[in-house]
Structure 1
């Protein structure tokens, strides 16, 4: 795979990006040799996450003339999948590739680095992170955890997951053991769901054994590889808790501050490069994967509208409750919420009108 375009990034606070094709820079002979470890939350059988990790460490090495070497480890090789930030925080590793919302047990504020239920789509979230002050706010919050956040990948909007039985009404959610990450579990628990946070590599056996009744992961491209259709045939949409999902490299703040500025720039630039590639790969691969899943027996189902409406109301109530008692959450929410609302207004005018029209025309088989 040859992906050499570089998204050259400004300071971590602004995260302004511009696309430039560049060769590896000449590195001064007196630049230090640095060795980092990066542990991941994502199993190696997920080729997009694995390629992102491979390319990230390779490209950082290239752009620093081989002076800055990072070695990455799969879940369980250093720490379990859901303990990545703990490992960075306590100095076990210098960096970790994970999703912020896995750590809502520490503080629900972590969700803003990934997504929130009924939040923004991918472009809207990127706008907030890059041009709306989101990254600065997240990194200010992360100082208490000895971390610096560098966004590295997007999945786009996700699916609602795989269910062993149909969901026809709100009553069908009561007692449902559902693997789901982040803030969404708290929303669904108020509808009677029993949320389970399980690492990606452990979802299939849990579904197969009936330990859980349903599970969400990403969407067709990854879900096909993980084989969920073999053990749960009902495939629901949309994943209203993940209108976008951003993952990132969480670096030790202490180690980050030791790096030469050019090394930090290399990390930011390569992460931006990988983020563009990962989203493109998901968008390119999901249509075919969805067709294959349906052909193999998966049954597509939309979530009942009354269920989604109830979840929407609960989510907004939860955010208000959290903001009233958690100052860290409140500080970021007061930026995120009005930005989301403005984005919704704008996208309703142009993007949504265009999408709805062309999608309906194509669906009507006009041509």
Structure 2
């Protein structure tokens, strides 16, 4: 079987073919600013069909409409403008105006944000998204972490729970003992504690590594992401380990550009961004249903780890990975009380989980 390859694609949002105006903000009086058109470039490592990419495309169309065509956004998917691991820096230094990024790429730059990767904290993307939105608005140290990188966060785009795709089936953690599993962030530490051998490779290397037997399985992706990349062709046995969300993604804009935008454009973009999470969740459910179809059509299987076994694993692991995160925060020189920030985060999660309705996709698919 040939290795799947993704080709960078540049896609224009609706009506973005108009090339008037210039990229970036600027001075000038109010009359000049009211006529200025901002043609902005957004860098993303995602394929254009991913749920986040589709939802962000709808967001861009809404931004253009809300600003009466004064803000137009051009998308560069699949690292067509910047590599995924350089997008934060690339937006901060102006190589791109906006970027879709994942916190797991930047443990040193975003130590507080990397709390999103602690396993067993939550399985609700909507609760996590609202929690981070609250922290960004209310916690000065957290907001400063982003401003230090030269960016302003427009959208919190949480990902669904971690999914595992395996070449050979497994029923429990004992079956996974010794298997080489691609893993990222703090999930890798939890996987190692459970007896797996975590392997650090990029998402672009996973398909061929599974195909050639370099790894026995992969994680660090939600159900829809794994099927978007056709991993069911080479690893058709999917598993929900009940470890919860594994990372956080977001759309950011260059801070200097944001500060230079007229106030009415800032307000319009912020208002549209406030509604992103609802659009994303609606899109996500559609993609997860399609992912289930893909897996079942490929003859794949789904295993949900026994809840009692998952709870025991969490009890053995949570304090260990929390301590690793706290050490990273303390060594970063951020000057933040890590324990206090952890409590604020968990409290925000608890508040928003009370109103959350998301059901993990693999669990929905398993009963079809």
Pair in the same fold by TM > 0.5? yes
Alignment correspondent of 1:274: 276
Q: Which residue of structure 2 lines up, in the alignment, with residue 335 of structure 1?
A: 341
Q: Name the SS of the counterpart of 2:275 in structure 1.
A: helix
Return the alpha-carbon distance in structure 1 between the equivalents of residues 104 and 328 of structure 2: 19
1:146 counterpart (126, 147, 150): 150
Select which of 177, 181, 184 maps to 2:180: 177
Residues 175, 192 of structure 1: 8 Å contact kept: yes
TM-score, normalisation: structure 1: 0.73
Asked if the contact 2:150–2:254 (Cα under 8 Å) also holds between the matched residues in 1, the reply is yes
Q: In structure 2, the residue corresponding to 1:281 is in which secondary structure?
A: helix
Indicate whether 1:34 and 2:38 are aligned: yes
Aligned to 1:253: 255
In structure 1, the residue matched to 2:127 is 124
Deviates more, 1:95-104 or 1:287-296: 287-296
Contact 1:147 1:252 in 2 (8 A): yes
Q: Is the 8 Å Cα contact of residues 151 and 271 (structure 1) preserved in structure 2? A: yes
Whole-angstrom CA distance in 2 between matches of 1:331 and 1:265: 33
Among 34, 53, 57, the alignment partner of 1:54 is 57
Residues 133/109 of structure 1: CA separation in 2 closer, same or farther (3 Å cut): closer
- 1:8 maps to none
Q: Aligned pair in 2 of structure 1 residues 165, 134: CA closer, same or farther (>3 Å)?
A: farther
Gapped regions of structure 1 (runs ≥ 5)? 1-26
User: Aligned residue pairs: how many?
Assistant: 325
Conserved 8 A contact 2:162-2:244: no
Compared with structure 1, are the counterparts of its residues 135 and 149 closer, same or farther at alpha carbon in structure 2 (3 Å cutoff)? farther
Q: What RMSD, in angstroms, separates the aligned Cα atoms of the two structures?
A: 3.6
Secondary structure in structure 2 of the residue aligned to 1:88: helix
Q: Distance in 1 between matches of 2:68 and 2:191?
A: 49
Q: In the aligned structure 2, how far is the partner of 1:275 from the partner of 1:344?
A: 18
The residue aligned with 1:286 is: 288
- Superposed displacement of residue 321, structure 1: 4.4
Moved more, 101-110 or 63-72: 101-110
Structure 2 alignment gaps of length 5 or more: 1-29
Range that drifts further, 287-296 or 271-280: 287-296
Identify the match of residue 231 of structure 1 among 230, 234, 254: 234
* Per-residue CA distance 1:168-190 (angstroms, 9 max, x = gap): 55555455332233321233234
With structure 2 as the length reference, what TM-score do the two structures score?
0.73
Query: Hey, what's the Cα distance between the residues in 1 that align with 2:311 and 2:216?
Result: 19
